[in-house]
């Protein structure tokens, strides 16, 4: 078992080791390869192996892995820290490039700037590292502070970055109520969706009667396009563990559960490693750091049911039962896991806790807005030039995220909307692109913060089809326990199908409005209550598109295939290239004469448009 003095020695020794790579006099080099899921999927593993192979005989070079730095679309990422601390960020690296970087940059001293971030991403031309990249200039990393900085499988590196220092002070210098007071004064709100004040949740659980209490972590990240929690678990698992131990101390709980979906194998593996390391260091288990406080932690795997992201369904699943929500009250703080008081927060909420204790609640409270403190992590994706993980102060505008960080829509396309909050959120139109990103501002325009998915759509997207896409997900993920959600969402989906196929009338829009209100008011849990949000927000801001589909039988964006007609224009020279690729023989005409398309045979597969070299086929 480690004592406080042991941790101080580990921290000091590891800091000295890491600083050795910043000392010009020692001529040491540190090579870091991003080994999160996004990096591994892009080919980071052979890059790491190539680096290890090429440096095996170089005593002054250390090669290590780290988590995601946020540049998911530019993976694999390889960073070189030269003597003196000069940083070079190489992107889209393959094993051959990695070998070149080792030979030319590390051995011969010539940086290969053509492979660095500045030469390979929009708006970054003048930089060679993340330190100067425009992608990061408006970001502030609190929850993700250690991702991309430390080896997530090395507890000593976490300790070197002040890891477990908050736990040390809490167990030896602070009472449980003092710990809760710090969280209360920080103004931290839940990052999982509704934004309930975290300190209040901790206070309720602490005040609940009973000798047995539990601490739970919601890592069942299920929103389409969201991967913030996965990246945090892969890049900095010890921060979640430390926060949960602090929470257990604060509320008087001795057992914790991390509920993580089984589709996250790397996150699960690194959590297992981190838990085992924490136990070996005496940071989990009996009499932590020699005190009379004991706390243990277990992982529970989810089977991928979206409804299990709802807190009562999650706890029911941990208990080994079918993951279905249950009525509230009683709330989990009073009656949760196994009928006992339970504190439940999501991964990102817990990730903020150690920073607040390390840097002071006052400094956290200075960041953000009056009612939304700190930062928020977003998975920025869709029709945006620079995609990846973004962490910005609360109150940052949507325009800053999309245009300044994401570099706008690619191909010169116009920004049309952004979907926040996943299938439970709403679409924010271009007219509200300057909305501050915080709980109240997003709620006022019909959207929500949610867990942090942020999907950008451009002028080529049909908003009716976008609403149908998210509702399709909700229908499939409904647990079926309550009638409004089970039947209501399916009925809404059927109406949206009719609209996009040109078979609906105005009465269907009225029915859709009525269904949205009924499902919102009467569903048992948050999944059903928020399922109408994508429909409500698109009908509110893009009603003209719904009307066009219903009255004119046209899709203004040209995205709904049932309403499209493929027509050959006067540019046609009769080359017959389109005839040869049409799978249904829908195209006819004499050679060197203008051809025509039979709309009854055309299946709108786009094969003819892709083959035509003259732009002779239009979608109308």
Residue spans of the domains in the chain: they are 18-137, 155-364, 375-461, 464-552, 565-619
- Domain spanning 18-137: CATH 3.40.30.10: yes
For residues 90 and 357, give the distance between their C-alpha atoms in angstroms, rounded to a whole number.
Answer: 34
Q: Are 373 and 363 in contact (CB under 8 A)?
A: no
Q: Are 275 and 189 in contact (CB under 8 A)?
A: no
CA 65 to chain centre: 21
Burial-class residue 141 by CB neighbours within 10 Å (0-12, 13-18, 19+). Answer: buried
Handedness of CA 535, 387, 450, 219 (dihedral sign): positive
pLDDT of residue 405: 93
Q: In a 3-state reduction of DSSP, which class is residue 452?
A: coil
Burial-class residue 199 by CB neighbours within 10 Å (0-12, 13-18, 19+). Answer: buried
Q: In a 3-state reduction of DSSP, which class is residue 401?
A: helix
Q: What is the DSSP letter of 478?
A: -
pLDDT of residue 21: 67
Low-confidence ranges of the chain (pLDDT < 50): none
Token pair belonging to 117? 């971030």
Where does 565-619 sit in CATH, by number? Answer: 3.30.70.20
> Which helix (DSSP H) or strand (DSSP E) does residue 419 occupy?
strand 415-420
Q: Strand 617-619 relative to strand 214-219: parallel, antiparallel, unpaired? A: unpaired
Burial-class residue 297 by CB neighbours within 10 Å (0-12, 13-18, 19+). Answer: buried
- Domain spanning 155-364: CATH 3.60.15.10: no
Burial-class residue 262 by CB neighbours within 10 Å (0-12, 13-18, 19+). Answer: exposed
- 256 forms beta bridges with 215, 297
For residues 122 and 401, give the distance between their C-alpha atoms in angstroms, rounded to a whole number.
Answer: 14
Q: What is the DSSP letter of 503?
A: -
Order of strands, sheet of 453-458, starting from the edge strand that comes earlier in the sequence: 388-393, 375-382, 453-458, 415-420, 426-429
pLDDT of residue 124: 62
pLDDT of residue 619: 85
> Which helix (DSSP H) or strand (DSSP E) does residue 297 occupy?
strand 296-302
Residues 6+ positions from 563 with CB-CB distance below 8 Å: 500, 501, 502, 549, 553, 554, 555
Closest to 488 measured CA to CA, from 514, 515, 510, 467: 515
Q: Strand 29-34 relative to strand 78-81: parallel, antiparallel, unpaired? A: antiparallel
pLDDT of residue 450: 81
Handedness of CA 373, 384, 304, 300 (dihedral sign): negative
The fold for domain 375-461 equals: Ubiquitin-like (UB roll) (3.10.20)
pLDDT of residue 41: 96
Q: Are 312 and 325 in contact (CB under 8 A)?
A: yes
The fold for domain 464-552 equals: de novo design (two linked rop proteins) (1.20.1440)
């Amino acid at each position: 078992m480690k004592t406080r003095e042991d941790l101080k020695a580990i921290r000091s020794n590891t800091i000295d080791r890491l600083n050795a790579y910043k000392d010009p006099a020692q001529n040491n080099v540190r090579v870091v390869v991003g080994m999160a899921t996004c990096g591994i999927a892009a080919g980071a593993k052979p890059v790491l192996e190539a680096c290890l192979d090429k440096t095996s005989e170089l005593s002054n070079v250390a090669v290590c892995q780290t988590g995601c730095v946020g540049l998911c679309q530019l993976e694999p990422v390889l960073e070189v820290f030269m003597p003196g601390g000069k940083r070079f960020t190489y992107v889209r690296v393959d094993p051959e490039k990695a070998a070149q970087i080792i030979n030319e940059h590390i051995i011969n001293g010539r940086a290969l700037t053509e492979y660095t971030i500045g030469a390979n991403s929009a708006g970054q031309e003048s930089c060679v590292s993340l330190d100067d990249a425009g992608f990061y200039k408006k970001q502030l990393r609190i929850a993700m502070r250690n991702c991309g900085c430390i080896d997530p499988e090395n507890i000593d590196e976490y300790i070197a970055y002040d890891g477990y220092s908050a736990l040390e002070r809490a167990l030896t210098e602070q009472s449980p109520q003092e710990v809760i007071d710090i969280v209360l004064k920080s103004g931290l709100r839940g990052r999982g969706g509704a934004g309930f004040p975290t300190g209040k949740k901790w206070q309720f659980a602490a005040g609940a009667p009973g000798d047995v209490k539990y601490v739970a972590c919601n890592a069942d990240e299920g929103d389409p396009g969201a991967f913030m929690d996965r990246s945090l678990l892969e890049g900095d698992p010890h921060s979640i563990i430390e926060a949960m131990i602090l929470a257990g101390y604060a509320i008087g709980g001795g057992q914790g559960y991390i509920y993580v979906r089984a589709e996250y194998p790397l996150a699960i593996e690194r959590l297992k490693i981190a838990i085992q390391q924490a136990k070996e260091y005496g940071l989990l288990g009996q009499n932590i750091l020699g005190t009379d406080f004991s706390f243990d932690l277990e992982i529970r795997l989810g089977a991928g049911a979206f409804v299990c992201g709802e807190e009562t369904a999650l706890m029911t699943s941990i208990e080994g039962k079918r993951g279905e929500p249950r009525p509230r009250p009683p709330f989990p703080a009073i009656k949760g896991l196994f009928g006992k008081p339970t504190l439940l927060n999501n991964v990102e909420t817990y990730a903020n806790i150690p920073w607040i204790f390390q840097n002071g609640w006052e400094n956290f409270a200075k960041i953000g807005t009056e009612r939304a403190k700190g930062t928020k992590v977003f998975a920025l994706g869709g029709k945006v030039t620079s995609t990846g993980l973004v962490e910005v102060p609360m109150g940052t505008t949507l325009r800053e995220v999309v245009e300044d960080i994401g570099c706008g829509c690619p191909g010169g396309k116009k920004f049309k909307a952004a979907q926040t909050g996943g299938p439970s959120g709403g679409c924010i139109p271009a007219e509200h692109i300057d909305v501050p990103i915080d709980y109240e501002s997003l709620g006022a325009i019909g959207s929500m913060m949610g867990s942090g998915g942020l999907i950008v759509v451009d002028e080529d997207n049909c908003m009716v089809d976008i609403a149908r896409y998210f509702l399709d997900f909700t229908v499939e993920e409904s647990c079926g326990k309550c009638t409004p959600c089970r039947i209501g969402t399916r009925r809404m989906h059927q109406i949206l199908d009719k609209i996009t196929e040109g078979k609906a009338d105005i009465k269907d829009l009225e029915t859709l409005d009525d269904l949205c209100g009924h499902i919102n008011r009467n569903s048992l849990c948050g999944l059903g209550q928020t399922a109408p949000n994508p429909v409500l927000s698109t009908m509110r801001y893009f009603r003209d598109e719904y009307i066009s589909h219903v009255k004119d039988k046209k899709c203004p964006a040209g995205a709904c295939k049932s309403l499209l007609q493929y027509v050959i224009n006067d540019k046609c020279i009769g080359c017959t290239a389109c005839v040869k690729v049409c799978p249904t023989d829908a195209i006819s005409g004499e050679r060197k004469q203008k051809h025509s398309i039979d709309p009854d045979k055309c299946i709108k597969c786009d094969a003819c448009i892709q083959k035509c070299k003259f732009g002779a086929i239009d979608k109308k």
